[in-house]
Amino acid sequence: ASGVPLIKTGALTTCTHLPYAPFQSKDASGKVVGFDVALIDLVATKLGVTQEIVDTPFEGIKSGTDLNAGKCDVAAAGMTITDERKKVLDFSVPYFDATQALAVGTGSTLKTLEEFAGKRLGVQGGTTGEEYIKTQVAEKKLDVEVVSYKDLAALQQALATNQVEGAVNDLPVWNEYIKANPGKVTVAAGFDTGEQYGFAVKKGNAALLTAVDEAIRTAKSDGTYDKLYATWIGD
Ligand code: ARG
């Protein structure tokens, strides 16, 4: 109604960074699926278009570069809403609560950051988990070697092959990994960072943001959100 186009092309383009199951990952047929994908599909349906996924590094998503340059209409990347990111992106209402968690190989007794003194701890580059761990290590003056990996797959691979003795990422992501790879890793500790995920749009795209918020609110009130949660996140 405002005359401002909600989306650039005939499709709703979504920037995300794969893999990040259960929020976004490729299924056996190569199709990108997940909780975020399903929620943004509701937005696309509402707009009468289909969703097109653009897989791109998280750095460009959270820095606002991709959306503000028009690479995508919306970002859906299990992305935590932070004050810093709010300066460069407009966020939807929160759609998911998360905390950080430390995963270690099964049988490892490491549980605290202090115990990682002289050891290697992996994180995912550009994420809130990386920032949290780097801040903790600096504040507590811990002699921990923090190693940043370019994506979740590289981080999980590093842990599986003992390149690092532990790895920090969002708890739901570890829960999903453990479901898919039983017996390999365990969650040794949680860090109550109180994070909330939001979808993001280019600064000022209020029309699209309203459509996203309405889709989330409707899904929460009509039971769709709970169904998708049960399908993708479980209990
Ligand atoms: N929630 C964390 C953050 O916002 C990690 C998100 C990583 N997402 C991804 N699709 N790679 O920093």
74-129 tens-digit pLDDT: 999 999 999 999 999 999 999 999 999 999 999 999 999 999 999 999 999 999 99
In this structure, the residues whose C-beta lies within 6 A of any atom of ligand 1 are: 16-17, 20, 58, 77-80, 127-128, 152, 170
In this structure, CATH architecture of domain 11-95+198-232: 3-Layer(aba) Sandwich (3.40)
Question: Are 203 and 88 a contacting pair, CB within 8 Å?
Answer: yes
Ligand 1 centroid–CA 2 distance in Å is: 33
Task: Quote the pLDDT of residue 223.
Answer: 98
Cα(54)–Cα(143) distance, integer angstroms = 38
Q: Which CATH superfamily is domain 98-195 in?
A: Periplasmic binding protein-like II (3.40.190.10)
Same fold, 11-95+198-232 and 98-195: yes
Residue to mutate (ligand 1; options 18, 26, 58, 96; most atoms within 8 A of CB): 58
pLDDT tens digit sequence for 37-49? 999 999 999 999 9
Whether 29 has a pLDDT exceeding 80, the answer reads yes
Percent of residues, the chain, with pLDDT higher than 70: 98
Q: Are 19 and 26 in contact (CB under 8 A)?
A: yes
Nearest ligand 1 atom to the CA of 195 is: 1
| Strand ranges in 94-183 using DSSP code E only, listed in sequence order | 96-105, 120-124, 145-149, 166-170
For 74-91, the DSSP string reads EE-SSPBP-HHHHTTEEE
ipTM here: 0.98
Q: What is the mean pLDDT of residues 2-16?
A: 80
- Is the predicted pLDDT of residue 209 greater than 50, yes or no? yes
The predicted pLDDT at position 2 comes to: 44
Burial letters 163-182, b for 16+ CB under 10 A, else e: ebbbbbbbbbbbbbbbeeee
Residue 138, amino acid = A
Domain boundaries, the chain: 11-95+198-232, 98-195
pTM: 0.96
